[in-house]
Structure 1
Amino acid sequence: MRLFIALVPPPELRRELGELADIAHARCGGRRMPDESLHLTLAFIGEVEEAQATTLVNWVQSLAIIPGKCRLDGWGCFKRPGIVWIGSQASDPALGELHRELWQGLEACGWSGRPDKFVHHVTLLRRAITNRLQDLPSINLTWPYSQVALIQSFTDERGARYRTLAVSQG
């Protein structure tokens, strides 16, 4: 199964992100991420066996996350494969530290794959036709967080979907 650790937005923020995704979709085209799929990935783990997933579930449930607030105030894109996202114009030291701590724990458990660079972002569109972001509205959102979630990515007849397997202490 394919797993990652992420922040999941509270309902009000998820609604606001969904509205911004609608605006971005109208201007940039592509495939809009469903509201229920919006998240901020902290650690992409990849494919794991079921026994490894059980270990990760237990580990995530034992984590105590220091609460924080993430600022989302800028649009961005990854030209390949046409990802349009919302993130921050400045690095967030607390979120960067959470990312590092999660990877230290994963590496201590035998996982590898820590990226060289961490760009905190929420993907709104995939396969965007254009990445002309200057026409999009300015944003200034605050994301309070106190937990991380272990999420499984899977594909079914409705396409790519996510299922939460575990949540840290909060």
Structure 2
Amino acid sequence: MTDLNRLFFALEIPKARQQEIVRWRAAHFPPEAGKPVAAANLHMTLAFLGEVSAEKQQALVDLAGRIRQPGFTLRLDDAGQWPRSRVAWLGTRQPPRGLLQLAAMLRAQAARSGCWQSPQPFHPHITLLRQTDSALRLPAPGFCWECPVTEFVLYASRFSQGRTRYQPLQRFALDKES
């Protein structure tokens, strides 16, 4: 039997920025607003891969390692809620072209490799809260964090002892910003 790992490509949010976002979330969302995502799990998914065999994982790693694209700056300046999935998110009003290109390349590679890809268009976001109340009040505009993006990461999603943890498996450098 082949071991499968639940994998995804994502942008890692720097630890200091994670803590700033967690403090901001605590100041703008009451505890009953939903289940907060742990600071260490804050990330921006580029391509969800699902359950992947070791062989397919290696092929995806090889393909991802061939990507040559400049880094970019991610500006987190938008928030919203998806009532149907009961998720509150932090995102970007104007996604940088580099972000959209990187996600498109990774999603296309994953689909060609036989990994399930959502039919939904890419909506760059960081999940802040799960199981949100439909009457959630979103924070007023005016917040903004900038994150330089110099790499993307292949993560494994592990569930143990009632908690989900995201383990970085491999990092892929982007070229210097142009």
Letter in 2 for 1:43: A
Distance 1:68 1:33, change over 3 A: same
Task: Say whether 1:144 aligns with 2:148.
Answer: yes
Q: 2:127 aligns with which of 123, 127, 130?
A: 123
More helix by share: 1
Q: CA RMSD in A?
A: 2.2
Instruction: For residue 48 of structure 1, give the secondary structure of its aligned residue in structure 2.
Output: strand
Distance 1:25 1:51, change over 3 A: farther
Superposition deviation, residue 24 in structure 1: 4.4
Kept in 2, the 8 Å contact 1:3–1:44? The answer is yes
Instruction: For residue 133 of structure 1, give the secondary structure of its aligned residue in structure 2.
Output: coil
- Cα distance in 2 for residues equivalent to 1:65 and 1:20: 32
Superposition deviation, residue 104 in structure 1: 2.9
Q: TM-score by structure 2 length?
A: 0.83
Q: 1:159 aligns with which of 159, 163, 175?
A: 163
Deviates more, 1:115-124 or 1:99-108: 99-108
- Cα distance in 2 for residues equivalent to 1:6 and 1:38: 10
Superposition deviation, residue 21 in structure 1: 2.9
Quote the residue 1:19 is aligned against. Answer: 23
Superposition deviation, residue 63 in structure 1: 3.6
More strand by share: 2
Superposition deviation, residue 37 in structure 1: 0.4
Q: 1:113 aligns with which of 109, 114, 117?
A: 117
Kept in 1, the 8 Å contact 2:33–2:136? The answer is no
Quote the residue 1:48 is aligned against. Answer: 52
Runs of 4+ more than 6 Å apart? none
- Cα distance in 2 for residues equivalent to 1:54 and 1:98: 19
Deviates more, 1:103-112 or 1:25-34: 103-112
Q: 1:31 aligns with which of 29, 35, 49?
A: 35
Structure 1 portions without partners, runs of 5+ = none
Q: 1:104 aligns with which of 108, 127, 137?
A: 108
Structure 2 portions without partners, runs of 5+ = none
